[in-house]
């Protein structure tokens, strides 16, 4: 699109705005009818550990949203000399799961409990046993049932339970709805009916009856919608909340709010069977679209859906790059102390490239990147640990390689189950900060998963672009056009990407590291037990 066409698109509302609330950044992206980004804006934020809970303050949600939108609007005006007054569609995405309960006045009843919390083991275990369906600790239903088991007084007053994306959507439209991918991280979904699993709802309602709760679960959960369905319009109050200047008009249609897993699948064109994507940043998760159901229940594997409702095996690790980033921060402090400060981008690239020079197995070094608990290895708490023997080959290259390996250690334990189930996967598409240094994260991931890993040119756009694409699909799909057909034919046709094949040397090296990783888990256990 040339400047004249873009200006016309902005004026006529032929654009889509996608906003994603990530774990460290809120990002907004405005795209044109050709699906390419026209402007973007972001706001950095961070979770807080308060009163034993990982949380974000809800006022920061609105501060961050308004600032991200303000930057988009300012960039549109600067680049295209046209004020942003209307938009064709808007979509919101966010970190999946967690716990956001509200009363009948719409007031929060508890602090936002994020996906990162590992405080619901009792509830998750009981529900998994009851449903014979894996209920992870981070799922909304686990948080709700744990609050009931804890006899928290607020539970009886809940009239609406939602997630971060659902909360923002609700406040801007008045609609208590949820995209099916996001909903599948609240409560199990029946992919035959594209709504909550009826028999499991009945089972949970029996539990509520025993506890004398004045509501049924279906009364407080959002209504489930699939990709392409309309999900309400921006109210006048919502427009003012998004754009306090009053310039943005009300009445803009919104697509169903989705979780970061679903938008990651869309942004990497991984919504068809035998496709998969891996999102690697603060946390890391792989999403594999299944041809058939798994043979049995696995506590390590979450069953969720694509935004269109297809069943997906999700392997989620709470910890990925936080410890690695902390070490890079330490190296940055060292350059400052030397008076030779190097910018962060160059430092990351240099250190990541060093990892490719290391021994295949990381030289006998061992690290655990557990900033928080890790359900895949059965830790309720985490302690970042680095350890070596006197015989280990302690070099910078091996140090970096080991920490990159460690970032994928827990994920590999979960993915090994899918290998046992003979799940077929043609390739993985990667996105997130782990892949930012060209080729390095991909090469490590390919070795770890023993499958080709592709990073598309558009991978850096991330979930904000993914939810914008879902908004575009709602606007522009033709008839019964399926989501995967729309993405393949209209968004990713002609897209270029870098694909890296796994090399046997690297596969063998990662497997040797993983043997050390699994054998050394008691070291991490001791750190949790004795380092308070």
- pLDDT by residue, tens only, the chain of 532 residues: 789 999 999 999 999 999 999 988 999 999 999 999 999 999 999 999 999 999 999 999 999 999 999 999 999 999 999 999 999 999 999 999 999 999 999 999 999 999 989 899 999 999 999 999 999 999 999 999 999 999 999 999 999 999 999 999 999 999 999 999 999 999 999 988 999 999 999 999 999 999 999 999 999 999 999 999 999 999 999 999 999 999 999 999 999 999 998 998 898 888 988 889 898 888 898 999 998 778 888 988 989 999 999 989 989 899 999 999 999 999 999 999 999 889 889 999 999 999 999 999 999 999 999 999 998 999 989 999 999 999 999 999 999 999 999 999 999 999 999 989 989 888 899 888 899 899 999 999 999 999 999 988 765 567 899 999 999 999 999 999 999 999 999 999 877 788 999 999 999 999 999 999 999 999 999 999 999 8
- The reply to whether 206 falls in a domain is yes
Spatial separation of the C-alpha atoms in residues 329 and 333, rounded to whole Å: 6
Q: Order the strands of the 25-31 sheet from edge to edge.
A: 37-44, 25-31, 16-21, 89-94, 258-259
Number of domains in the chain: 2
Whether residue 282 is found in the same domain as residue 231: no
Whether residue 509 is found in the same domain as residue 447: yes
* Residue where one domain finishes, among candidates 258, 280, 310: 258
Q: Which residues of 379-392 are buried (b: 16+ CB within 10 A; e: fewer)?
A: bebbbbbeebeeeb
User: Residue 415 region, left (φ>0) first, then alpha (ψ -120 to 50), else beta?
Assistant: alpha
- The reply to whether 511 falls in a domain is yes
User: Residue 98 region, left (φ>0) first, then alpha (ψ -120 to 50), else beta?
Assistant: left
- Output the domain CATH number for residue 40: 3.30.420.40
Backbone CA torsion sign across 93, 264, 46, 532: positive
Task: Name the burial class of residue 173, with classes exposed (0-12), middle (13-18) and buried (19+) by CB atoms within 10 angstroms of its CB.
Answer: buried
Instruction: Report yes or no: 431 and 337 within 8 Å, Cβ to Cβ.
Output: no
* Residue where one domain finishes, among candidates 200, 226, 258: 258
Pairing status of strand 302-305 against strand 275-280 = unpaired
Whether residue 254 is found in the same domain as residue 274: no
Whether residue 240 is found in the same domain as residue 307: no
Structure tokens that stand for 441 in this block: 């994260």
User: Residue 390 region, left (φ>0) first, then alpha (ψ -120 to 50), else beta?
Assistant: alpha
Instruction: Report yes or no: 314 and 294 within 8 Å, Cβ to Cβ.
Output: no
Please report, to the nearest 10 degrees, the dihedral formed by the alpha carbons of residues 114, 21, 318, 45 taken in order.
-80
Whether residue 135 is found in the same domain as residue 168: yes
Whether residue 436 is found in the same domain as residue 522: yes
Report which DSSP code applies to 174.
Answer: S
- The reply to whether 481 falls in a domain is no
- The reply to whether 9 falls in a domain is yes
Nearest to 68 by CA among 476, 467, 491: 467
Whether residue 105 is found in the same domain as residue 149: yes
Residues 6+ apart with CB under 8 A from 206: none
Whether residue 254 is found in the same domain as residue 272: no
Domain that holds residue 353: 268-457+496-532
């Amino acid at each position: 699109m040339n400047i004249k066409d873009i200006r016309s698109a902005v004026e006529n509302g032929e654009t889509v705005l996608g906003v994603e609330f990530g774990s460290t950044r809120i990002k907004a992206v405005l795209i044109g009818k050709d699906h390419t980004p026209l402007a973007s804006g972001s706001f950095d934020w961070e979770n807080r550990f308060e009163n034993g809970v990982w949380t974000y303050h809800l006022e920061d949600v609105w501060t961050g949203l308004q600032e991200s939108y303000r930057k988009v609007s300012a960039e549109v005006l600067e680049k295209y000399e046209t004020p942003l007054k209307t938009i064709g569609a808007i979509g919101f995405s966010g970190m999946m799961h967690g716990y956001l309960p509200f009363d009948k006045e719409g007031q929060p009843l508890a602090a936002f409990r994020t996906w990162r919390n590992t405080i619901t083991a009792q509830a998750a275990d009981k529900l998994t046993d009851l449903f014979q369906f894996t209920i992870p600790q981070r799922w909304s239903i686990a948080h709700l049932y744990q609050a009931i088991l804890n006899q928290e007084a607020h539970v009886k007053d809940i009239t609406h339970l939602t997630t971060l994306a659902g909360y923002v959507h609700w406040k801007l439209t008045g609609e208590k709805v949820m995209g099916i991918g996001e909903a599948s991280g609240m409560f199990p979904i029946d992919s035959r009916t594209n709504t909550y699993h009826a028999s499991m709802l009945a089972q949970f309602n029996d539990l509520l009856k025993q506890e004398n709760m004045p509501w049924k679960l279906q009364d407080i959960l959002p209504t489930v919608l699939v990709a392409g369905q309309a999900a309400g319009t921006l109210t006048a109050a919502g427009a003012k909340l998004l754009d306090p200047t009053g310039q943005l008009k009300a009445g803009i249609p919104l697509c169903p709010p989705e979780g970061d897993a679903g938008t990651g699948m869309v942004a990497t064109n991984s919504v068809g069977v035998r496709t998969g994507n891996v999102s690697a940043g603060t946390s890391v998760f792989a999403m594999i679209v299944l041809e058939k159901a798994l043979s049995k229940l696995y506590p390590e594997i979450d069953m969720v859906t694509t935004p269109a409702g297809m069943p997906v095996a999700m392997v989620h690790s709470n910890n990925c790059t936080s410890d690695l980033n902390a070490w890079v921060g330490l190296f940055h402090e060292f350059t400052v102390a030397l008076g030779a400060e190097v910018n962060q981008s160059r430092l990351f690239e240099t250190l990541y490239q060093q990892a490719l020079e290391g021994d295949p197995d990381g030289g006998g070094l061992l690290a655990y990147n557990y900033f928080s608990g890790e359900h895949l290895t059965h830790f309720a708490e985490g302690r970042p640990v680095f350890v070596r023997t006197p015989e280990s080959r302690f070099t910078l290259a091996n140090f970096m390689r080991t920490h990159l390996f460690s970032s994928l250690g827990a994920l590999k334990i979960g993915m090994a189950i899918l290998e046992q189930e003979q799940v077929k996967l043609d390739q993985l598409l990667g996105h997130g900060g782990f892949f930012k240094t060209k080729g390095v994260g991909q090469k490590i991931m390919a070795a770890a998963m023993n499958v080709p890993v592709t990073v598309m040119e558009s991978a850096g756009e991330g979930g904000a672009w993914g939810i914008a694409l879902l908004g575009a699909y709602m606007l522009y799909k033709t008839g019964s056009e399926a989501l995967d057909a729309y993405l393949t034919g209209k968004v990713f046709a002609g897209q270029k990407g870098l694909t890296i094949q796994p090399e046997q040397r690297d596969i063998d090296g990662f497997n040797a590291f993983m043997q050390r990783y699994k054998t050394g888990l008691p070291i991490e256990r001791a750190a949790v037990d004795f380092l308070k």
